[in-house]
Amino acid sequence: MSINQGATDVTLSVEFAGLCLFVTDRRAQPETSVSVLMPTCVPTPDGRVGTQHEDEDIGARHVPYLLMDLANLDVGQTVAPGLAADGARYQVVRRLSREELSFEPDAPQGSIVQIDPDPLPLPDLSQYKKDGIGLKDLLSTVPPNERPELSVRTTLKSGKLSAITLGGPGKVGGPPVQKPDWDKDPEDWAGSIRWTRTIPGGSLTIKIRNWDTGQSTPLTLKPSPGRDIIELKIANLCEDNPLEWKEFENRLQKDDVDFKWLYRLFEAKGGGSLLDAFGGRGHKFPYPKLAPRRARTTGNTGCTPGQFGLP
């Protein structure tokens, strides 16, 4: 992508919400990257993905999508943006399925992702490494029609990941701290995570490549007149409200059982049942219990993300 000389830098702000796993990779320190993985949460026609989890609970269907403002796509700049407090006036939804997203221009070599707070205020499944679970091979090249449990992936190599829970940064005691029995009591887990990055040149291109067909879809975005920010949302939420209209917002469910979809991204080391790491047959996968949250968009009300660290 060419960069216009003298063009003003813009800020890219992406909110990640819903069932996604933030995998922080520090194996090549000082470089740090974060891969955002979204599991397939609908049954596939070939039966390789079903709604019944290994612990025999049934998962509700979720759909990943990219939410944009038409004003950022409009080359002629004729579409008026919405008020900042109300979100986009003309929302554009691009459903995602078996696809990888990349943002251009690329981050400079040697960049790192800043994480604030570190670790993020999300359930951390790294604590189960000692019990014999590991991430599936989901960070390398995805061959066509393989790894059906993975629906969406993007890798962040620069910028800043941040999260503010309901209590805010000044909350006494700070964000929730992972406990061995983290799933027993309601906690102030973050409903979404925001990634910000400075983009040189006044515009950016999102490339969406399908793993099965190889087809690539480029989307070039520019700030709307009078603004220097492009705001996007990438979410994996319950299938009934992708436009996130507040009138149809789901009520907060204290027991976030949808979190169990994230276990599809893991495997037992040496093979066998993943459930064995959690007590075996007759036991259940742990999931977060949510403290009350203010009325927000659907993605922030429920469907909590998770995190995992490498190595």
Give per-residue pLDDT as tens, 79-107: 666 654 455 567 788 999 999 999 999 88
In the predicted structure, residue 240 carries a pLDDT above the cut 80: no
First vs last C-alpha separation in the chain: 34
Tell me the C-alpha distance between 195 and 144, whole Å: 29
Residue range 263-271: mean pLDDT, rounded: 94
Computed on alpha carbons and rounded to an integer, the radius of gyration of the chain in Å comes to: 19
| Spatial separation of the C-alpha atoms in residues 186 and 170, rounded to whole Å | 19
Query: Residue 89: what pLDDT?
Result: 63
Question: What pLDDT does 305 receive?
Answer: 94
Q: What is the token pair recorded at 184?
A: 């027993």
Quote the tokens at residue 124.
């951390």
Say whether pLDDT at 177 is over 90: no
**pLDDT at residue 198 in the model:** 94
The 8-class DSSP code of residue 32 comes to B
Confidence grade of residue 178 (pLDDT, cut at 50, 70, 90): confident
Please name the residue that has the structure tokens 């893991």. Answer: 266
**pLDDT for residue 174 is more than 80:** no
Of 10, 65, 4, 64, nearest to 39 by C-alpha is: 64
- Give the separation between CA 273 and CA 135, rounded to whole angstroms: 14
d(CA 106, CA 205): 10
**pLDDT score, position 85:** 46
Is the pLDDT assigned to residue 242 strictly greater than 80?
no
pLDDT interval class at 182 (50, 70, 90): very high
Residues contacting residue 307 through CB under 8 Å, at least 6 positions apart:
21, 22, 23, 24, 119, 120, 122, 123, 124, 125, 126
Q: How confident is the model at residue 190 (pLDDT cuts 50, 70, 90)?
A: confident
Q: 4 or 10, which is more confident?
A: 10
Question: Above 60 in pLDDT, residue 172?
Answer: no
Picking from 33-37, 290-294, 305-309, which range would have the lowest pLDDT averaged per residue?
290-294
3-state helix, strand, coil split of the chain in percent (to 5) is 10, 35, 55
At residue 4, the pLDDT reads 43
Range of lowest pLDDT (2-6, 225-229, 240-244): 2-6
Instruction: Report pLDDT for 5.
Output: 39
Rounded to an integer, what distance in angstroms lies between the CA atom of residue 293 and that of residue 165?
A: 9
The number of CA neighbours under 13 Å toward the Cβ of 86 is 7
Question: How much is the pLDDT for 110?
Answer: 82
- Count of beta carbons in the 10 Å neighbourhood of residue 7: 13
Q: What is the pLDDT of residue 266?
A: 98
Phi, psi of 5 (to 5 degrees): -65, 135
Widest pairwise Cα distance in the chain: 63
* 65: its two tokens: 């999508």
Domain boundary assignment for the chain: 10-310
Residue 284 forms beta bridges with which residues? none
Residue 157 and residue 61: Cα distance in Å, rounded?
30
| Dist CA 307 CA 117 (whole Å) | 13
Distance CA 180, CA 197 (A): 34
**Do residues 71 and 88 make contact, with C-beta atoms less than 8 angstroms apart?**
yes
The pLDDT value recorded for residue 163 is 87
Mean per-residue pLDDT over the chain, rounded? 86
Report cis status (omega within 30 of 0) of the bond before 105. Answer: yes
Enter the pTM of the model: 0.91
74 pLDDT higher than 80: no
| 25 pLDDT tier (thresholds 50, 70, 90) | very high
Q: What is the mean pLDDT of residues 67-79?
A: 77
What's the pLDDT at 80? 67
